[in-house]
Structure 1
Amino acid sequence: MSFVNLARKSLEARGRLFEEYKSVLDDTKITDADKRERLERLDAAIEAKTEEVRDFTAKAEAEAEARNLDGKLGKLFVPGTQEEGREAPGMDARSLLLAVANGEIREGLITPDMEMRAPGGNVQAAAGKVSDAAFAGNTTSVQFIAQVQEVMREHSPFLNLVSTFTTSHGETIRYPVKNAWMSPTTDVTILPEGEKYTFGKGGFTTKDLTVAKYGTGVQLSAELLTDSEVDIAAIAADDAGQALSDRITADMLAKLQVAVPVGKKVVMVGAAATTKVSYDNLIDVQHNLRTGYRRNAAWMFGDLQLAELRKIKDTAGNPIWNPSYQVGAPDTLLGKPYVTDATITAKATGAGGTINTDLIWYGDFSKFKLRQVKGITVSRSDEYAWDSDMVSWKLTWRGGGDLMDLESVAALRTAAA
């Protein structure tokens, strides 16, 4: 039991003694001598509990201070100072991952069966080398993991809108899906006295939330990482993070596109290649959702689509796009915030262009559940291509997702050409 809990228990016991003290003090049925004796005994017990509370509190404060100092020491970690096979004391998860990415910690993290030293055979054709002029020359090292994670967050607004949860294993999860509403006329009745209730089963079904493994790799030469002031590893981390987030987002948007019912998709009138999005289109999409979903709703579309939307005016001639003049406040479209995502296809512009594409999404995207297994994993190996002085990174993400409330998102869809 922690010192905090011990202090709480002592404090509760002290409170009970106080209540007993007041009860004896108000008791008119006992003699003055008996009352005085009981009160003195309770005084001593209360004082003892008070000292006990002070002692446990002091120990709890010392324990908390020790944890605080331990965390500060973790930030002062110097590579090579830890004992072999042991994690640096006080290192938090982020510091540990950064140290691994920079090659500062290996013991206990890379096992012999993970090390592969095939002579020259593990140098990939797409590996970055100083001799490759198109690969920007010499470089220095960078905090690879943090860079990848930051790029994924910034590059895919969709991944920031959805509800993400993490599981420790990748087994299939059967998740409840809301696909309709109970009927207020048939499922809700006015009951005379003694009448039976009408039971509705609700509008639920289930979906199997499975996971897929997404992976990519980056390989750079030791010369690229050490010989220059240009952080080519940062560029490689950016590329890997963007590619990974684009692939995950594209797959999740495909799931969203399939999940949104036909009744929630407004179809534009006219040829897909030439018809522009109208003010009326957006109003139709917005009011295709019930009021409760519009409360937390946002728009989502591609960046080229935004250029077109910024030109649209309402019936009074005012732009429906409103820029924000307050720091931290988002720009709005018809009074609601929006995000642009690079993976959303632009509207078809001619022969061979994409048609029947969901161009604009609107809704409460928190109803889309993104399940990941242990989050993103970035592994660095200096041994995989050891005899060629190549440093390798492997990026892995396991997860999946789907829309779990089919009433929560609407879309504007181009008409078939």
Structure 2
Amino acid sequence: MNFEAMATAALEKRAAVYAQRSAVMADTALTDTDKRAKVTAFDAEMTALEGEARSHIAAAESAAEIQALNERAAKLAAGGKGARGEWRSLVPTDREYRALIAEGTPTAGGYAVPATVSQQWVDKLRAQSTFMRAPGLNVIRFDQGNKFTIPQLSASTDPAVVGEGNAIPEGTLTFAGLALDPVKYAALYRASQEMVDDASVDVEEMVGNTLVRDIANVVDRDAFQGAGGTAALGGLTVAGNSTATTLSTGKTVVSWDDVIDAYGSIAAIGGTPSVVWASVDMWKGLVKAREGTGATAGGYLAGSITNDPAKAAMGLPLLPTMNLPVRTVIVADASRVFLGIRKDVRLARSESWKFDSDSIGYRAVIRVAGLRVAEAASVQRIVASAT
């Protein structure tokens, strides 16, 4: 199979979808609601096509690696019986064994997950992560250097009034580069060989899903309220990553009025709100809010039952999470939030780690950097009063 041609085709399709997305954004005949719906669909399609292209590229790299290893094995075999006897002992070491196989291909004896599967696990991570499911979120992979650098325009001079025929004075732009260190999230489990052999379910798949779920939960926690620095991500509750509004005493529940105010604050700076995150206690109140009270209560403010009010807020995804502090609701323009991925989710399986106990080891690792918000006003954080 020509993986390179398949990757090129996927990227060309992505470019065509992006052109359609740009046309929708420029179409003044569409309402903001229609634009958001179309742009969300385009973003999902572009993400899928990007993942397809990456998988084809990784498959091409894996095929090239296998070919190189086969050529190397052929050269070793051509060295004669004596050469083979000296190179390979009766019980080969891990290094000798790995030289014979394609480490990333289980069918060839390898125990590491193929690179082509890595993108699938990133997609699973996004599905498991409440934070990373936000439409328009900037999840950027970076390969160069050991820092995630976000260029910022820190200052600029104001335009001037210029008379007819006069020279336009040159302004000044001041750029700054925000550099963030990647941090590693990892999980390690083991299972007995007997349990894996005798299980009536696919243990390998179950362990993989559990590893990704656990990492997604920790990434979510730090993305929402991490302490920052080198120990964790800088969360949305960190200074400079959001604008906080603390409700006055007596207002123990975030109302739709508060959500609308936050929406307006983002729109006022030219942003486009794209998601509402809520702690579970506040999410319940928003979903159940209705027109009127008591016996005269009308329909749900979040939408009719046919529109699934549990998942929408003013046309935006309404996502509950246990990783926000209680009494907290966040309205955000996710396109202004940046998260870097230094290394995709990698799953590995090893029978060497606990050789003496005949156990299998499972490990998952991902390295991410960030997160950072372009301007604090793009993320409005509402905190209800405790009393």
Q: Same fold (TM over 0.5)?
A: yes
SS in 2 for 1:309: helix
- Residue 129 (structure 2) pairs with residue 156 (structure 1): yes
Q: Rg: which structure is higher?
A: 1
Query: Which residue is 2:348 aligned to?
Result: 379
Superposition deviation, residue 340 in structure 1? 2.5
> 1:414 aligns to what?
384
The letter for the 1-side match of 2:147 is T
Matched letter for residue 214 of structure 1: Y
Listed one character per residue, the Cα deviations across residues 375-394 of structure 1 (whole Å, up to 9, x for unaligned) are 11112111111232111111
The residue number in structure 2 matching 1:310 is 287
In 2, Cα distance between equivalents of 1:340 and 1:100: 40
Cα separation, partners in 2 of 1:339 and 1:203, compared to 1, 3 Å:
farther
The RMSD of aligned alpha carbons is: 4.0
Cross-structure match for 1:392: 361
- In structure 1, the residue matched to 2:336 is 367
Q: How does 1:58-137 map to 2 (within 5 A)?
A: 85-86=69-70, 103-106=106-109
Task: Quote how far apart the aligned CAs of 1:299 are.
Answer: 1.0
Residue 303 of structure 2 is aligned to residue 322 of structure 1: yes
- Structure 1 runs (4+) deviating above 6 angstroms are 99-102, 144-147
What is residue 190 of structure 1 aligned with on the other side? 161
Separation of aligned partners in 2, 1:179 and 1:288: 21
Look up the equivalent residue of 1:246 and give its one-letter code: N
Q: Deviations over 1:346-372 (max 9, x none)?
A: 33xxxxxxxxxxx11112112211111
Question: Which among 321, 325, 331 is matched to residue 341 of structure 1?
Answer: 321
Q: Residues 234 and 379 (structure 1 numbering): CA distance in 2 closer, same or farther, change over 3 Å? A: closer
Q: Give the CA deviation at 1:170.
A: 5.0
Q: Please say if 1:290 is aligned against 2:267.
A: yes
1: CA distance, partners of 2:278 / 2:310: 15
| SS of equivalent residue, structure 2 residue 237 | helix
Deviations 1:47-74 (A, max 9, x none): xxxxxxxxxxxxxxxxxxxxxxxx9xx9
Contact preservation (8 Å) 1:215, 1:397: yes
State the alpha-carbon separation in 2 of the partners of residues 149 and 258 from structure 1: 25
Instruction: State the one-letter code of the partner of 2:356.
Output: D
Query: Offset of 1:236 from its aligned partner?
Result: 3.0
2:266 partner SS: coil
Shift of 1:238: 3.0
Choose between structure 1 and 2: higher helix proportion: 2
Using a 3 Å threshold, how does the CA distance of structure 1 residues 360 and 236 change in structure 2: closer, same or farther?
same
Render the CA deviation track for 1:17-60: whole Å, top value 9, x for unaligned: xxxxxxxxxxxxxxxxxxxxxxxxxxxxxxxxxxxxxxxxxxxx
The verdict on how the C-alpha distance between 1:215 and 1:331 changes in structure 2, with shifts beyond 3 A counting, is closer
Displacement after TM superposition at 1:412 (Å): 0.7
Which ranges of structure 1 fall in alignment gaps of 5 or more residues? 5-70, 75-81, 88-98, 111-143, 348-358
> Residues 382 and 389 (structure 1 numbering): CA distance in 2 closer, same or farther, change over 3 Å?
same
Percent identical pairs in the alignment equals: 19
Give the superposition deviation at 1:309.
Answer: 0.6
- TM-score, L = length of structure 2: 0.59
Provide the rounded CA distance (Å) in 1 between the counterparts of 2:67 and 2:314. 60
Change (3 A) 1:199 1:306: farther
Which whole-Å deviations, capped at 9, do the CAs of 1:317-354 have from their partners, x for residues lacking one?
65321257479x9942123232223322333xxxxxxx
Aligned length: 277
Residues 149-194 of structure 1: CA deviation (Å, up to 9, x unaligned): 56523221311322112123551233124678x7xxx823432124
Say if 1:260 and 1:208 are closer, same or farther in 2 by CA, change over 3 A.
Answer: same
2:39 is matched with none
Match of 1:174 in 2: 149
